[in-house]
Amino acid sequence: MSTKYLPKFIFLFFLTLVQSNATEVDVLLDCSSCGTLTTQNVSGTYALTSDTVIADKNLTIAGDLNLNGYTLTVSCGSVIVSGNFNGGGTLIIAGDLTVTGATQNNPTINSNQCYETWVGGTSTDWGNDNNWKNGVPTSSMDVTIPNGLSNKPIIGATTGASVNNLTINEVDGLTVLGGGSLILSGNLDGSGLITYTRTLSNSWHLIAAPGIGETYNDTWVSNNGIDTNGTGNNVAIAPYNTSDDTWDYMQSGGGGSFVLGKGYAIKRANAGNVSFTVDINAGAITTATLNRVGNGFNLLGNPYMSYMNSKTLLDDSNSILRQQTIWIWNHTTSSYNTWVANDQFKIAPAQGFFVQAKSSAQFNFTEANQSHQSDTFQRPVTASPEIYLTLTDDSNTRYTRINYNEGTTTGFDNGYDGTMFGASSNAFAIYTHLVGNEQGELGNSQGHGYAVQSLPTDNYENMIVPVGINATR
């Protein structure tokens, strides 16, 4: 079948705190460079004789602090003065200033806060200034969540939170709701963990744990409402077998650990929440080696609690992939969506996806490829000028997409053209073949049904796009 188409488209943030009788001085402290803080103790009066910088230390003074017209910069820590604070100079401080005696001679105090503490003043909302000592923290700040407060912090479905180091002393930890995201630049410390919660339907989904330390067993299955009414002892959670394109279902009484960067198929008995309580990773993540056997389809998953750009991910691993394409299961159509690198699809936290390996090699996720986005979990996105061809029967809908992009050809353009997911039957499908016959990584159009085909933006009125349909009576 062939059809002829005509064109239809031709911050760095800082907080300045100044004493009421002082002059404001704008100074930016690099909070992200702060190391482990120690304390410098001064037994008597601390008097400056020149401009002085104290790095990675808290300063505790038993007597007076005399600036004597100079500038004292405490780049990461706090200052405690048991005596008087005598001005005539400038104090630049990242932490808290506590003065027991009098403050004299109008010192200039400039505070660029590097630390923030949760107080839960009005609610559980991370994004509410009133729930923090000095306001919602920014990405360069070290954040502490103390234990025992009635309002436990929750990063909501529309909130993107970024911090440097995060200390969670709250035994119930921190909760992140699906749609929300958290980017951690430094370390996660303290006794508390982070729970990521995603609401799922009672259909199949591809998921991944956005951190380490979570296991699945009968208890986890029960707590998360996983369907246990499978064939025999099959429980509806399964990693993927690349060698023969099958699923390795958990057996009742069995289980395992969620592997960072690995995807799983999962199905709840009824619509509801699935939660992962994990320690999160801030650095680069390397998954197990991709498996090239069989068709080479490997089920991976976003290992971060933030969004990842599929183009960056695919570009970084281009040499080990047959095509710059990911496939994500669409539970509403019971079919796979095809996203090519050019789509720059934002992969949501806990989202599982397939790639096709060209060689057995390690697949890497980079820390820099993290962002905050609107929720995209198993949701479509809109690409550049395009045509959708849709095939529908009484209960199913399938589509194929034709994009028009400058610089593409009528042959195979890696990152712009993507095949249907090749490990499913595609018994009901609509697809295209390449307009041209140029050889590419996948060869010419023969034998490959394309879910996404990108064509040049000129001479399209003379292009004939072959369209294929799979259907049974």
Question: pLDDT at position 99, please?
Answer: 94
Question: pLDDT at position 442, please?
Answer: 52
Q: Which amino acid is at 285?
A: I
Q: Is 388 exposed, middle or buried (0-12, 13-18, 19+ CB in 10 A)?
A: exposed
Cβ(347)–Cβ(313) under 8 Å?
yes
Cβ(400)–Cβ(426) under 8 Å?
no
Per-residue pLDDT reduced to its tens digit, 5-33? 333 322 222 222 223 333 333 334 555 55
* Residue 96, CA atoms < 13 Å, CB-side half-sphere: 8
Full-model pTM: 0.79
Question: pLDDT at position 38, please?
Answer: 85
Question: pLDDT at position 384, please?
Answer: 61
> Can you tell me the distance from the alpha carbon of 299 to that of 240, in angstroms, rounded to the nearest whole number?
6
Please identify every stretch of the chain with a pLDDT value under 50, giving residue numbers as ranges.
1-28, 438-441, 443-446
> Can you tell me the distance from the alpha carbon of 221 to that of 60, in angstroms, rounded to the nearest whole number?
52
